[in-house]
Amino acid sequence: MATNRKKLVMVGNGMAGVWAIEHLLKLAPDAYEITIFGAEPHPNYNRIMLSSVLAGGADMDEIIINDLEWYRSHNINLHIGHTVTRMDTKARKVYSDGGVEVGYDELILATGSNPFMLPLPGADKEGVIAFRDINDCRIMQETAKSYKKAVVIGGGLLGLEAARGLLHLGMEVSVVHINEYIMERQLDEAASTMLRKELEQQGMKFLLAKQSEAILGKKRVKSLLFADGSMVEADLLVMAVGIKPNVGLAQKSGIEINRGIVVNDYLETNIPGVYALGECAEHRGIAYGLVAPLYEQGAVLAKRLAGAPTEGYAGSVTSTKLKVSGVNVFSAGQFIEPEGSRALRYQDEIDGVYKKLVVHDDKLIGAVLFGDTSDGAQLFSMIKKGEDIKGREKELLLGISADALSSSPQNRLEGMADDEIICGCNGVSKGAIAEAIQSGGCTSVGQIKACTKASASCGGCKPLVEGLLQLYAGDAAVSVKEGICGCTTLNRDEIVSEIKRMELKTVKEVMNVLEWTNEEGCAKCRPSLNYYLGMLWPEEYVDEKESRFTNERYHANIQKDGTYSVVPRIYGGVTSPTELKKIAEIAEKFDVPMVKFTGGQRLDLLGVKKEDLPKMWEELDMPSGHAYGKTLRTVKTCVGSTFCRFGTQDAIGMGIRLEKEFERLTAPAKVKLAVSGCPRNCAEATIKDFGVVAIDGGWELHIGGNGGVHVRATDLLCVVKTEDEVVEWASAFLQYYRENAGWNERTSIWVERVGVESVKKALENREDRLALQERIQTTLNLTTDPWKQIVNEPELRKNFEPIAPIEIYK
């Protein structure tokens, strides 16, 4: 069968392109041998959710749309970290910078867009970046650890999302915008003003009607100069002023280019066998930057490639429904009144609600909603249909329904068109959800999520999904609490209880006995089950490496260029000349591009090739710092009484003891400790998962802190007198957390969920503490540094040999 399959190559691994591939696989699963090139070293992820990653609302793992297992299971040859540099449209071949050459019968260009960088003097300085991908998020997060003043150029959606994330990172943020009001492409002046006031209350500063002139500073940005002679200080400058289609590859290959890659209604370029879609494509003179049109293009292209009937893509009427820094905003159509139209407005500044409808010839042509966007989908449907609303204008404005617009939410949902997008993050239409319920047998929101991905990302569409479930399933609809993922309706506590009750010992056994809907599991449940089994049965359970993420499998952090970061453990941040010399020599030997001190007082060797990892660890002969895992990362210390005149206790000694006590300890999420030698708290112990602060005659023990994007100060657990008591309480707390927190749940979130008093109560009895300490010691006694095993076992070392990407992911 494989010999009869045509070869389909896609350049680009983003949302629009992979969406088209998903549809194609449903329509014609065996028609093509598929190869995908992605320039970023990541599988397909939800770029819309990057602002949530930056603001701390989601981890990178949570915004992955299709993990590597998905590509493998569909026999897709994936080359991540490869940029296609040349195409030969006559020979029908593409060539990557990684040396891969692939022939094709059909070629899809889904190269997306590039951020537009203002050509200002000084734009090449250090600290000047865009906000477009995962690496930009990481730069912002790293910068926020050392610098405080951030400036964002651009008062549109992207700029405000970047600004909100930087606020969460603890930076002072100024937003510079050339217009007199923000988000002018989505909001009118009244709604924009309300949004600006809300964001100012959150801490943002705005510099409006400002023309940027130059970026000042020597090597790194220091300030931004404006045309009027004023300036604003900046340690980090983020440009979020728009995007431009990425057309360079197509242009070099003789494909017709205007602003974007010119395509017809079937997404075909002027070269036979070559298609384009997404942000790189231009259809009828328009290059779309919103997700809904890109998904519509993907559905048309999939049908075209599958040989299924399609009327083609006729363009999109766009709408924007989003949440800007916690504020709901919706706009659609012509929200600025054209000549001959009239507008209706409702404004309530007490509750923060604004509504505006624009009507022309008795038809709704535009709308803006601020604060309350519940009517957005219905209004957008009416705009697209060109529906006559004569006599119903005020009812629409005030949310009062009549006739076809009954006050019943069900009637509103029933009146929506099937192609109405319900889940903007994942491009799921009303019709797709209806089909999942009526034909697919979905009877709960969780099943719909697993089947269609609706509500799987930001969750903002969940009320609409619930309404559609009631509409189409009726009495068959079941209100099922959502499980840890779409594969099960069981939550964390139920799963752990059943594993203990039935003594289940493997991931497969858990999935089978507890009736997982997806027998292979997913990227959310497999790692969590792997952890729960290891936590419950430390002496019997064999860790499943395939259930771990890439970083944990290779025991190093993968970087944007596909290389790795190695962090050896340096106890308490204390090293020696001999150790430093050894690290330096090995860094030179393996040609490490960068050696950096981390925020946790460790040395990070960045840019290591995968095949060099085992040999490097062997020669380092140092324990892993586990900078990649859900385990103890670091124990940060100040110098304490050893050197400091203010120190009351030996912070260094206490920190090293704790680090040696708990190194290699697996946990539901990463764990950071710190020990400060006096209440001046130089080691920042009061924003750590477990913090120790020395006082006269004893130690304060603090829990549940977080110094990341969701900053949380610790709660005081207790005060003890001796170092042995510190270890006893630390052991008891960490084990109690291990046994009761959900997978990927940091101590800060867990302590807030269960309450600090419940933790204190669980640990107040010394017998209970000692029992917890014994259990954690049992686990620790069974662990060894992963590199010892890899270095000593030749079979394991084979996993680190360089392999062509086409073989890795095939």
Residue-wise pLDDT for 230-276, tens only, equals 999 999 999 999 899 999 999 999 999 999 999 999 999 999 999 99
Burial grade of 703 (CB within 10 A; 0-12, 13-18, 19 or more): buried
Average pLDDT over residues 337-365: 88
**Position 105 pLDDT exceeds 50:** yes
CA angle 318, 321, 326 (to 5 degrees): 155
In a domain, 394, yes or no: no
In percent, the amount of the chain with pLDDT more than 90 equals: 50
What is the Cα gyration radius of the chain? Answer: 28
Shortest CA distance to 525 belongs to which of 193, 69, 106, 108? Answer: 69
662 lies in the same domain as 758: yes
682 is in an annotated binding site: yes
Helix (H, G, I), strand (E, B) or coil at 321: strand
636 lies in the same domain as 735: yes
Buried b (16+ CB within 10 A) or exposed e, 515-549: ebbeeebbbbbbbbbbbbbbbbbbeebeebeebbb
> Can you give the pLDDT at residue 788?
73
Structure tokens at 491: 């939550």
**Position 548 pLDDT exceeds 60:** yes
pLDDT band at 430 (very low <50, low <70, confident <90, very high): confident
728 lies in the same domain as 741: yes
In a domain, 441, yes or no: no
147 lies in the same domain as 272: no
The tens digit of pLDDT for each residue in 678-698 reads 999 999 999 999 999 999 889
In a domain, 64, yes or no: yes
Q: How many Cβ atoms sit within 10 Å of the Cβ of residue 447?
A: 20
**Position 409 pLDDT exceeds 60:** no
> Can you give the pLDDT at residue 650?
92
Residue where a domain stops, chosen among 241, 273, 295: 241
Q: What does the DSSP 8-state code read for residue 476?
A: G
Minimum mean pLDDT range among 111-120, 414-423, 679-688: 414-423
> Can you give the pLDDT at residue 408?
53
644 is in an annotated binding site: yes
Average pLDDT over residues 591-595: 88
CB 746, CB 689: distance < 8 Å: yes
pLDDT band at 173 (very low <50, low <70, confident <90, very high): very high
779 residue type, one letter:
T
In a domain, 337, yes or no: no
630 lies in the same domain as 769: yes
The residue ranges of DSSP E strands in 471-621, in sequence order, are 557-558, 564-566, 594-597, 603-608
**Position 294 pLDDT exceeds 80:** yes
Minimum mean pLDDT range among 115-129, 532-546, 786-800: 786-800
The tens digit of pLDDT for each residue in 613-640 reads 888 888 898 988 888 888 999 999 998 8
Identify the sign of the CA torsion 477, 482, 486, 491. Answer: negative
CA atoms within 13 A on the CB side of 425: 25
90 lies in the same domain as 214: no
| Reported pTM | 0.61
The domain that holds 151 is classified in CATH as: 3.50.50.60
638 is in an annotated binding site: yes
In a domain, 692, yes or no: yes
Q: What does the DSSP 8-state code read for residue 62?
A: G
751 lies in the same domain as 732: yes
pLDDT band at 42 (very low <50, low <70, confident <90, very high): confident
In a domain, 620, yes or no: no
Average pLDDT over residues 173-199: 92
Number of structural domains the chain divides into: 4
Residue where a domain stops, chosen among 224, 241, 258: 241
Q: How many Cβ atoms sit within 10 Å of the Cβ of residue 121?
A: 11
pLDDT band at 2 (very low <50, low <70, confident <90, very high): very low
Dist CA 673 CA 683 (whole Å): 9
Backbone angles phi, psi at 365, to 5 degrees: -115, -10
> Can you give the pLDDT at residue 673?
96
> Can you give the pLDDT at residue 326?
67
CA angle 363, 366, 370 (to 5 degrees): 135
**Position 364 pLDDT exceeds 70:** yes
CB 80, CB 41: distance < 8 Å: yes
For the chain, the average pLDDT equals 87
Q: What does the DSSP 8-state code read for residue 631?
A: B
Q: Which residue has the higher pLDDT, 808 or 419?
A: 419
pLDDT band at 599 (very low <50, low <70, confident <90, very high): confident
Element (H, E) at 466: helix 462-473
> Can you give the pLDDT at residue 808?
32
100 lies in the same domain as 158: no
- When mean pLDDT is compared over 98-107, 416-425, 459-468, 472-481, the highest value belongs to 98-107
Q: How many Cβ atoms sit within 10 Å of the Cβ of residue 599?
A: 15
666 lies in the same domain as 520: no
In a domain, 208, yes or no: yes
> Can you give the pLDDT at residue 406?
42
CB 741, CB 729: distance < 8 Å: no
The range of the structural domain enclosing residue 162 comes to 128-241
209 lies in the same domain as 264: no
pLDDT band at 323 (very low <50, low <70, confident <90, very high): low
> Can you give the pLDDT at residue 725?
96
Minimum mean pLDDT range among 105-119, 510-524, 674-688, 737-751: 510-524
The tens digit of pLDDT for each residue in 635-662 reads 999 988 888 888 899 999 999 999 999 9
In percent, the amount of the chain with pLDDT more than 70 equals: 92
**Position 321 pLDDT exceeds 70:** no
In a domain, 9, yes or no: yes
The tens digit of pLDDT for each residue in 379-406 reads 887 888 888 888 888 888 876 544 444 4
The tens digit of pLDDT for each residue in 749-802 reads 999 989 999 999 999 999 999 999 999 999 999 888 877 777 677 766 667 765
> Can you give the pLDDT at residue 213?
95
182 lies in the same domain as 207: yes
29 lies in the same domain as 81: yes
